[in-house]
Amino acid sequence: MKSRKRKLVEHILLLDYNKYYRMVVSCVKSREDALDIVQSGALKAIGNCASLKKEAYAGTWIYRIMMNEMYRFLDKSKESPIDEVEERGAEDVYGDIDLRQALELLPLKDKVIIELRFFEDMTFEDIAEITGEPLSTVKSRLYRSLKKLRLTLE
């Protein structure tokens, strides 16, 4: 006998899995690790589905669990936590390297926002929900990153 929330979560997990998977692959660079992370995230989402407050937000709720799982994994494999590492003087360097490298040089959280916005076509509101950051922060991060990448995509 499945609860409604559990059914909903299961349904979304079986529909949107590639979205989580490709995001995680892009950040952890390993398909095997990404699969592990997404699987753990899925099990956590199912296990905790009772704490999902509004069913309409199930999509972003699951996404957030996936991101947390990913950050937890990355935290474990680095000595220092994923923090804001502001590159000094990197702004000038970006013009000379290709875009792919420039994207990789962004602080992880900024890269994630770029990908959510432009690769997943998400609204700022949804991005704010997923990252747990205020709308204004999300926007300023995005614009700062675009400047670094010398892009005018907006």
Binding site for other proteins (CB under 8 A): 2, 6-7, 9-10, 13-14, 17-18, 21-22, 25-26, 31-32, 35, 38-40, 42-43, 46-48, 50-51, 98-100, 103, 115, 118-119, 149-151, 153
Q: Nearest distance from residue 68's CB to other proteins, in Å?
A: 15
What whole-number distance in Å separates Cα of residue 23 and Cα of residue 136? 23
User: Judged by CB, which is closer to other proteins: 78, or 119?
Assistant: 119
Min. distance of Cβ 14 from other proteins in angstroms?
Answer: 6
Report the chain's terminal Cα–Cα distance, integer Å: 47
* Shortest distance (Å) from residue 98 CB to other proteins: 7
Q: Name the residue nearer to other proteins (CB basis): 48 or 136.
A: 48
Give me 15's structure tokens: 């529909």
Give the nearest distance from C-beta 25 to other proteins in angstroms: 5
User: In angstroms, how far is CA 12 from the centroid of its own chain?
Assistant: 17
DSSP one-letter code for 55 = G
The size of the chain, in residues, is 154
Q: Residue 116's closest CA among 107, 125, 8?
A: 125
